[in-house]
Amino acid sequence: MKFGLIGHPIAHSLSPALFKAGYDSRYPYQLIEGADFEDSYRRFLEGYDGINVTAPFKEPAFAKADILSPECEAIGATNLLVKTPDGIKAYNSDYLGVRMWLSDVAEGLKSVLPPWPQGEGPTTKEWEGFFSSPQPHPTAVKALIVGLGGAGKAAAAAAESLGMEVIRMNRTIKDERTRPLSDFREYFREADIIIYNIPTAIPELYELTDEDFGVGRPKYILEANYRKPSFDEMLLQKMRTANPMAEYTSGKIWLLYQAVTGYEIFTGEKPDLRKMSDVL
């Protein structure tokens, strides 16, 4: 079996190192570098059993799939394609990864690692059920999703699947449900959970006051961009001083969650979570 990653640019990606650690180098995993989606997709068809898909190829890859998993149908984007006897099947492990994090947060858990010990965990079939099974949380939780690209769409769908009240926010107003960035402070203050998917810092971040960080109540922040996070140390220190109950989670955890689930879909085997964690 042979696997890879398409997208552009991807030279910085941690995916090969995570895959290598997860399976002790038993399977090859390569970067299929290139700015042209059609060329990258052709190379996948010619030489790989499955691929991860990153920006800006998630939506074009979705259009190529013969079979859509339930979460892909809901989101309209994929980050994982697998060859099957019936054709190319699309999954979205961004959805599964953020849903795992949201499930922990909704229960007030502090751990940022999945709850099963090494060598244990759901099977690939169980992951597929987890993608679509509704698990409403008994109390109202407000989740603010900032940025509605592929990762943002996955985050919004995952939050909705857990019964959360979802506020969507984007630079471009996509529909009547989407709020403008000018409303950022208002909704940031109200939200219990913020998932920040914009690759750069918006000016509104630096206008946040102590009250916006929700003094005296838990507030959880997950940022997708782990290479150049917009929540820099100065902003995080301000958050911690204003509200010790607020928690920030690096996008590396989202990367780990989606990787451990996605790689099992590729191989049918559980990767070594501890060794993958060490890579981060």
What's the CA gap between 153 and 165, in Å, rounded?
14
Residue 103 vs residues 37, 108, 116: alpha-carbon distances, Å: 34, 9, 14
* DSSP type of residue 180: P
Residue 56 vs residues 40, 62, 67: alpha-carbon distances, Å: 12, 12, 21
Residue 236 vs residues 105, 206, 224, 229: alpha-carbon distances, Å: 18, 11, 16, 11
Residue 280 host element (H or E): none
Catalytic residue among 58, 64, 219, 270: 58
Is 58 annotated in the active site? yes
Positions of E strands within 139-264: 142-146, 165-169, 178-179, 193-196, 219-223, 246-249
CA 151 centroid distance within chain: 6
Q: Which residues make Cβ contacts (< 8 Å) with residue 72, sequence separation at least 6?
A: 62, 65, 78, 90, 91, 92
What's the CA gap between 213 and 220, in Å, rounded?
10
Q: DSSP for 239-259?
A: HHHH-TTEEEE-HHHHHHHHH
Beta-sheet pairing, 246-249 with 50-53: unpaired
Residues annotated catalytic, as ranges: 58
